[in-house]
Amino acid sequence: MKVLIVIAAIATLLAPIHGARRQCAGVDANRNGSGPYEYEGSGFLTADWTQKSCAAAGGSIDPNKKGNQKCCTFTDSRLGDFKRACDGQKAANYPKFSSFSQLC
């Protein structure tokens, strides 16, 4: 019986932790919205918007990713919070770019 409990405990610890990995990309929707989407070249918008959306979802930023590769990890239950925060992002200095929540 003790062996089964130990095996169950180890299996629980080794089980993957499910979480969403997303970014809030600053993209140009190619004027008419048909795509393909193009990232804002400097990576500033994606990095900034992902950081802000991640904070709203209570997530954490992958410290090894920068610019257009910036990525946030948060629990699946907070996906709506991330998307709402991302959808609300605007940049006056980059009028042709809009926010787009996507997997990373």
Could you report the per-residue pLDDT of 1-56, keeping only the tens digit for each?
Answer: 554 444 444 444 434 456 889 999 999 877 666 667 788 999 999 999 999 999 99
Predicted TM-score of the model (pTM) = 0.77
Q: What is the 3-state secondary structure (H, E, C) of the chain?
A: CHHHHHHHHHHHHHCCCCCEEEEEEEEECCCCCCCCCEECCCCHHHHHHHHHHHHHCCCEECCCCCHHHCCEEECHHHHHHHHHHHHCCCCCCCCCEEEEEEEC
Express each pLDDT in 64-99 by its tens digit.
999 999 999 999 999 999 999 999 999 888 888 999
What pLDDT does residue 81 have?
97
Cα–Cα distance between 37 and 27 in angstroms, integer? 6
> Could you state, in order of their start, the residue ranges of all structural domains in the chain?
18-103
What does the alpha-carbon distance between residue 51 and residue 83 come to, in Å, rounded to a whole number?
13
* Among the four given CATH numbers 2.60.120, 3.30.70, 3.10.450, 1.10.287, the one describing domain 18-103: 3.30.70
Q: How far apart are CA 25 and CA 44, in angstroms?
A: 10
